[in-house]
């Protein structure tokens, strides 16, 4: 791997910022959430409607059976005591319930709850003895409808409660009745909101994928000459390069149904559900053909079988087996194209990548400088820019950034412009956003002593002077001793152009620049500090890679060993290094030799240009931040001159690196 373009201070660098989330929600995801929300709303409405209906029925029945205004209640014994006194003129007796309505001479009434079935014969004789008029009436009848409602109300409430609890349980468990159904989002009857014209750069990838679009549009022309489109296309590339965006663009260009799902949605806590969902996914695809099936992050179910601690994951392997069977189970003429995306193709099962399944891999790499400029133009379409903004220059200063990171950079620049209440984004806003993304947020609250600032200034000056003087080092873009991110000081280098091949002279200069901060501390103070921690880690990793993997050691010769594999990446648990202890000692020895050689070389250059080196450090203490042009001017004014043609150093004194130098082997 190439050396890092940042030279950190005391602390290790912060983790890379995550890719920004898309500001536009896809129609399929919004549609799915809308349908789910509408379904939940209807369920709540029905529950409230049933509750209101039950309350209404109860009120009607209570009103019918018992009037709202009732007469005075008497006990039956008190009523019998009033009969001989003449306070009772007449009674009305309900035969069934035994309820008695008492009428008095003054016109008032009261009610008495008598014995069910009516008063006994002795009481009736008492009534006759005192001349009470008696009327016998039947009980109030609520009718057959009221009786039915009274009988059905408890049953209805019980059934409603069971339905409510069942649906709540299904929602919490993901739907007991839909465990085996695929969770894929199907977009039918509408074109995707993304086309190839909306994707900047990647012309080779567009041409490769264009065959899929042509097959879906005119499948007959392929069949006439006996050609068939690959069943599966695997989109491979680093995170943020636009693999999912390309899949949506294929659906937009072809104008066919687009079925999308992620690999993790196949897996559940119950064994066998993943395989059932794979079957349901392809059954849905056959009903929608011609169509595109897109499986994002396929490595969630496509990892190597039988790998990891204790073997494999049974549920994941069953889902993978079913996916392999489905890929073999349909013909290309059915009009189904399966796309998948992953950023870890090395851990996929070999059976998934064989011919006849995902037999074509389309690599979507990080964008080149010209592609970065085009991507920046796309993200700046709807943003007002100052006339001074040069996107080509910004593209040169963002090597290794993906499309998602470039979108984040433009958004950070817009936020910076908004903070200063500007109407347009300036070049300074874009430059500040790039520094914020690459170097981190400046920590203004951290107070350093004068001694610490002096050490940091000389440390960063060592990086900067060596980056300026060594002929194959990347030029300096900016140096600061202000605490930024997790570092106490930062030296930021920018390559002149994108590099895809790293030669030995470039790597040696990169190591010398990395070790220049520690060498500067030794030259000025005679002791080292903990500020070189990140530099030593990065330099050691680069030197070990040069020796072990790139064959850049005469003692090792034409041999290379890959990096150690981890269990969670699908490698065997008992995997160990594939070289002997003697070779391991030789690798350590060669790594140490290369590091010591470049450390001596860096110290020699700084001692020979000490005046320029100290002038840069003094300027950093005074101004805190210097640009690459300011550093070049200070070095040349102090007698440092332009970049060295001859590079002094241990074993290479007076030797000039030839421009045609190549990696050995």
386: CB partners within 8 A, 6+ apart: 424, 425, 426, 427
**289-323 residue pLDDT tens:** 777 888 888 888 888 776 654 445 577 778 888 88
Lowest mean pLDDT, pick from 40-49, 57-66, 284-293, 443-452 = 57-66
Q: Two tokens at 6?
A: 């940042």
> In terms of Cα–Cα distance, which of 593, 560, 562, 580 is closest to 663?
560
> In terms of Cα–Cα distance, which of 462, 478, 475, 396 is closest to 609?
462
Q: What is the CA radius of gyration of the chain?
A: 42
Helix (H) or strand (E) segment spanning residue 111: strand 109-113
Q: What is the mean pLDDT of the chain?
A: 75
Q: Which residue has the higher pLDDT, 491 or 167?
A: 491
Q: Two tokens at 162?
A: 């069971």
447: left (phi over 0), alpha (psi -120 to 50) or beta: beta
Helix (H) or strand (E) segment spanning residue 83: none
d(CA 320, CA 39): 32
User: Domain 185-363 adopts which CATH fold?
Assistant: Rossmann fold (3.40.50)
Q: Which CATH architecture has domain 72-140?
A: 2-Layer Sandwich (3.30)
Domain boundaries, the chain: 6-14+442-637, 72-140, 185-363
- For the cut 50, the answer to whether the pLDDT of residue 46 exceeds it is yes
The DSSP secondary-structure symbol of 531 reads G
SS3 category, 387: coil
**84-119 residue pLDDT tens:** 887 888 888 887 777 888 888 887 888 888 888 778
**Would you place residue 648 in the very low, low, confident or very high pLDDT band (cuts 50, 70, 90)?**
very low
d(CA 341, CA 524): 53
**444-479 residue pLDDT tens:** 667 778 888 889 999 999 999 999 999 888 888 888
Q: What is the pLDDT of residue 20?
A: 39
Alpha helices, DSSP H only, in 104-202? 121-129, 143-172
Q: What is the mean pLDDT of residues 206-227?
A: 71
**404-417 residue pLDDT tens:** 888 889 998 999 89
Strand pairing category for 625-627 and 291-296: unpaired
CA angle 111, 112, 117 (to 5 degrees): 125
User: 6-14+442-637, superfamily in CATH?
Assistant: Peptidase M41 (1.20.58.760)
- For the cut 50, the answer to whether the pLDDT of residue 661 exceeds it is no
Lowest mean pLDDT, pick from 74-88, 189-203, 469-483 = 189-203
Rounded alpha-carbon distances, angstroms, from residue 664 to 18, 334, 347, 539: 37, 51, 30, 20
> Could you list the active site residues?
460
Q: What is the pLDDT of residue 649?
A: 38
Q: What is the mean pLDDT of residues 45-49?
A: 68
SS3 category, 385: strand
Rounded alpha-carbon distances, angstroms, from residue 80 to 24, 91, 601: 85, 12, 125
d(CA 565, CA 658): 36
- For the cut 70, the answer to whether the pLDDT of residue 61 exceeds it is no
Q: Which residue has the higher pLDDT, 117 or 72?
A: 117
Instruction: With both helix axes pointing from N to C terminus, report the angle between 628-637 and 450-469 in degrees, rounded to the nearest 10.
Output: 80
Q: In what order do the strands lie in the sheet with 291-296?
A: 185-187, 258-262, 291-296, 336-342, 232-236, 360-363
């Amino acid at each position: 791997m190439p050396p890092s373009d940042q030279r950190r201070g005391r602390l290790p660098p912060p983790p890379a910022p995550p890719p920004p989330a898309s500001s536009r929600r896809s129609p399929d995801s919004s549609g799915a959430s809308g349908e789910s929300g509408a379904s939940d709303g209807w369920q709540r409405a029905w529950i409230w409607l049933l509750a209101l209906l039950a309350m209404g029925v109860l009120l009607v029945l209570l009103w019918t059976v018992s009037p709202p205004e009732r007469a005075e209640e008497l006990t039956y014994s008190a009523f019998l005591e009033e009969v001989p006194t003449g306070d009772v003129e007449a009674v009305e007796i309900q035969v069934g319930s035994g309820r008695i309505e008492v009428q008095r001479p003054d016109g008032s009434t009261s009610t008495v709850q008598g014995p069910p079935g009516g008063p006994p014969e002795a009481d009736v004789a008492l009534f006759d003895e005192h001349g009470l008029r008696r009327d016998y009436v039947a009980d109030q009848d609520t009718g057959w409808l009221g009786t039915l409602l009274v009988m059905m109300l408890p049953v209805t409430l019980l059934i409603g409660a069971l339905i409510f609890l069942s649906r709540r349980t299904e929602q919490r468990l993901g739907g007991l009745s839909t465990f085996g159904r695929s969770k894929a989002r199907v977009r039918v009857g509408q074109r995707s909101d993304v086309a190839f014209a909306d994707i900047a750069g990647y012309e080779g990838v567009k041409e490769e994928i264009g065959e899929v679009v042509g097959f879906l549009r005119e499948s007959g022309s392929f069949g006439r000459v006996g050609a068939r489109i690959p069943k599966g296309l695997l989109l491979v590339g680093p995170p943020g390069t636009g693999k999912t965006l390309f899949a949506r663009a294929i659906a937009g260009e072809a104008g066919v149904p687009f079925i999308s799902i992620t690999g993790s949605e196949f897996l559940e806590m119950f064994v066998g559900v993943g395989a059932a969902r794979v079957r349901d996914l392809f059954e849905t695809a056959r009903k929608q053909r011609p169509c595109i099936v897109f499986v994002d992050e396929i490595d969630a179910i496509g990892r190597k079988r039988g790998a990891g601690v204790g073997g494999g994951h049974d549920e994941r392997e069953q889902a993978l087996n079913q996916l392999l069977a489905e890929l073999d189970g349909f013909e290309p003429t059915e009009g189904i194209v399966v796309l998948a995306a992953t950023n870890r193709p090395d851990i996929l099962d070999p059976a998934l990548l064989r011919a006849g399944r995902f037999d074509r891999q389309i690599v979507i790499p990080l964008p080149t400088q010209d592609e970065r400029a085009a991507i920046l133009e796309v993200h700046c379409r709807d943003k007002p820019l100052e006339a001074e903004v040069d996107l080509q220059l910004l593209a040169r200063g963002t090597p290794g950034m993906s499309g998602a990171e470039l979108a984040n950079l433009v958004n950070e620049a817009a936020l910076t412009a908004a903070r200063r209440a500007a109407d347009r984004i300036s070049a300074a806003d874009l430059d500040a956003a790039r520094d914020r993304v690459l170097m981190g947020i400046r920590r203004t609250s951290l107070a350093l002593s004068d001694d610490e600032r002096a050490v940091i200034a000389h440390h960063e000056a060592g990086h900067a002077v060596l980056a300026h003087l060594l002929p194959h080092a990347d030029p300096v873009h900016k140096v600061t001793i202000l605490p930024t991110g997790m570092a106490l000081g930062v030296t930021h280098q920018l390559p002149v152009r994108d590099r895809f091949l790293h030669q030995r002279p470039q790597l040696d200069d990169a190591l010398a620049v990395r070790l220049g901060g520690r060498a500067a501390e030794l030259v000025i103070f005679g002791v080292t500090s903990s500020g070189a921690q990140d530099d030593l880690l990065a330099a050691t990793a680069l030197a070990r890679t040069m020796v072990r993997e790139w064959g850049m050691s005469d003692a090792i010769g034409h041999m290379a060993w890959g990096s150690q594999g981890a269990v969670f990446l699908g490698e065997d648990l008992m995997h160990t290094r594939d070289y002997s202890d003697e070779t391991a000692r030789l690798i350590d020895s060669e790594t140490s030799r290369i590091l010591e050689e470049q450390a001596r070389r860096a110290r020699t250059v700084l001692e020979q240009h000490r005046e320029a080196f100290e002038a840069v450090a003094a300027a950093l203490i005074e101004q805190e931040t210097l640009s690459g042009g300011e550093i070049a001017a200070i070095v040349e004014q102090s007698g440092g001159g332009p970049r060295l043609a001859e590079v002094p150093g241990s074993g290479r004194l007076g030797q000039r690196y030839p421009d045609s130098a190549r990696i050995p082997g």
